[in-house]
Structure 1
Amino acid sequence: MKRTMLWSVVGYTAVIGAGLLTRHAAREAYRKTAGAAPPENPGRRDTRWREALVWGMASGALVGVARVVGHRLGDEARRRSERRRPRRALKHPGD
């Protein structure tokens, strides 16, 4: 596997993991502050507009921040690994 492909996989895995963890944390925070579970389907008629909008804005913002952080941390890890990689001296076939 090429190095760039490996770092792409690592980066996307970090972003997905950060999004899932953030989504779970957002649900738990909503349960504790609102005293109820977040709306499973904000489009249902029994969900109040206020609940649907608050949940949509809060979860969307948190997951968006987590994705940006995941991308930044992944890029930083890639840059650090490239700096530490030893450079090979070019050798001529006759040497």
Structure 2
Amino acid sequence: MKRHMLWSVVGYTAVIGASLLTRRSAREAYRRTTGDTPPENPARRDTRWRDALVWGMASGALVGVARVVGSRLGEEAKRRGERSRPRRALRHLKD
């Protein structure tokens, strides 16, 4: 595996991790704020429009921000990794 591939994997992992953590945090914040769980399926008839729209906007915005932050952090880690000399664990990788 080449170094740039390794750092790409690190970057994508950061994006996925940030998204999952944010989604989990958003669910907990919704529960604490409203006293109810967020709608599992906003398209169901028993879900109020207000709840569906609030949850959709809030979770979408938060996950979008988390993806941008994760991408930026992943790219920064990739740049730092490319600038630094290879560590012992990465010596077996060929560029």
Would the TM-score normalized by the shorter structure come out above 0.5?
yes
Percent identity reads: 83
2:42 is matched with 42
Q: Gaps spanning 5+ residues in structure 2: where?
A: 87-95
Which stretches of structure 1, 4 residues or more, deviate above 4 A after TM superposition? none
Report matched runs for 1:17-28 at 5 Å.
Answer: 17-28=17-28
C-alpha separation in 1, matches of 2:76 and 2:7? 11
Give unmatched runs, 5+ long, in structure 1.
Answer: 87-95
Q: Which moved more, 1:51-60 or 1:74-83?
A: 74-83
Q: Is the 8 A contact 2:7 2:81 kept in 1?
A: no
Q: Which amino acid aligns with 1:51?
A: D
Which residue in the other structure is 2:82 paired with?
82
Q: Is the 8 A contact 2:23 2:62 kept in 1?
A: yes
Within 5 A, what are the aligned runs for 1:1-95?
1-85=1-85
Shift of 1:78: 1.1
**CA radius of gyration, larger in:** 1
- C-alpha separation in 2, matches of 1:17 and 1:84: 25
Q: 1:22: Cα distance to partner? A: 0.2
Q: TM-score, normalised by structure 2?
A: 0.87
Q: TM-score, normalised by structure 1?
A: 0.87
- Matched residue type, 1:79: R
Shift of 1:27: 0.1
Q: Which moved more, 1:32-41 or 1:6-15?
A: 6-15
Matched residue count? 86
CA distance in 1, matches of 2:59, 2:45: 20
